[in-house]
Structure 1
Amino acid sequence: MGMASKGDLTKARLAESMLELIQTSGYSGTGLNAVIEHAAAPKGSIYFHFPDGKEGLGVAAVELAAKQFETLIVEAAVAAGGPAEAARAAIEALTTIVSESNFRLGCPVSVVTLEMGADSERLRQACATAFESWISPTAAFLEASGVGADEARSLATVVVSTIEGAVIVSRAMQSTQPLVSAADVVAELISQRCQTVGGTR
């Protein structure tokens, strides 16, 4: 693979800055001038790389967040001994991120969904795609552990939804306890289901 061009690096930096600012200031609270300043990018660069402006930049930020968390899920799955341990490892990694940011950082996908899901079909779809990119590998990991396809999909959806809710509640309470509790409950739920499957073989 060749080296990324200067333009590609600027585009990536703008998306990264938009992502960070969404997490701390929300989508509506993030202005394009703030993104340019944060990214230390030339003033005309946003509309050069994102001709549709803030919406296009928001989509890029959501896609970046999706990739980051998908990587976290996959790495947890590879490192863990089973799906329950993988879920716990992923939640613990998120807990560290939220805690070390002094509860300023959360899930930018949920932020954009809540703020813009009813106003921008393009952003809503980007958020839906992001959530799907987390549900699918989780379901695949559960299937590989013997859970049926339909149940694996359902359980994966519950797991991702529980994590999303726990992040929001943790930030509101400025406490990691909701995430710690979510890790315990999710791991137990997955463990019970996998044991049931194993016992019926």
Structure 2
Amino acid sequence: MTPETRLREEIARLAASLFARGLTPGASGNISARLPDGGLLVTPTGASFGALDPARISRLDAAMTPVSGDPPTKEMPLHTAFYATRRSAGAVAHLHSAHAVALSVLPETDPEDAVPPLTAYAVMKLGRVKLLPYFMPGDPAMGDAVRGLAGKRSAVLLANHGPVVAGRDVEAAVFAIEELEETAKLALLTRGLSPRLLTPEQIAALGARFPAD
């Protein structure tokens, strides 16, 4: 089995797990992964995470031109912006998970720190999550907004849309976006209850020892 074949199967396996647990419904969500030659494997547009065929995952060359598989997700500007601005990014995951979307539409959500530091793992895997404004799905302006962050955030929350996370590989990106969804759920469960957040000193210590991918 070639490394590319293994990566295709890993994308399909992780996507199926996300779908089975209700973390992205219908044909929503997309995952991409960087190949050694600078190209990408990308989940196809209109494809359900619950029924991905590894052989039909889109392959793009280093110039981001599709060369095989089904047409890639319309959210390519979002993915390529992370790869262009974060050298450590080996994969990008995007979901329409319910709790993260709910957090994105609440007016009191802090745009600079959209996911509150409730747990150590949220800080370790995500760092600070930027809330970006609403864009129509597929709008290249989403990519421009990510590029405007200059690689300083590994995770963003798209208003009225969902989370996007870059990681060093597919597994890291998926695990981090799962952490984002679970922390969003905790934030909603504890909203109005004055939960104890991690202190700035605790956050700084975690960030120094466990920098987000």
TM over 0.5: no
The bucket for the TM-score relative to the shorter chain is: under 0.3
Q: Which has the higher strand share?
A: 2
Q: Which has the higher helix share?
A: 1
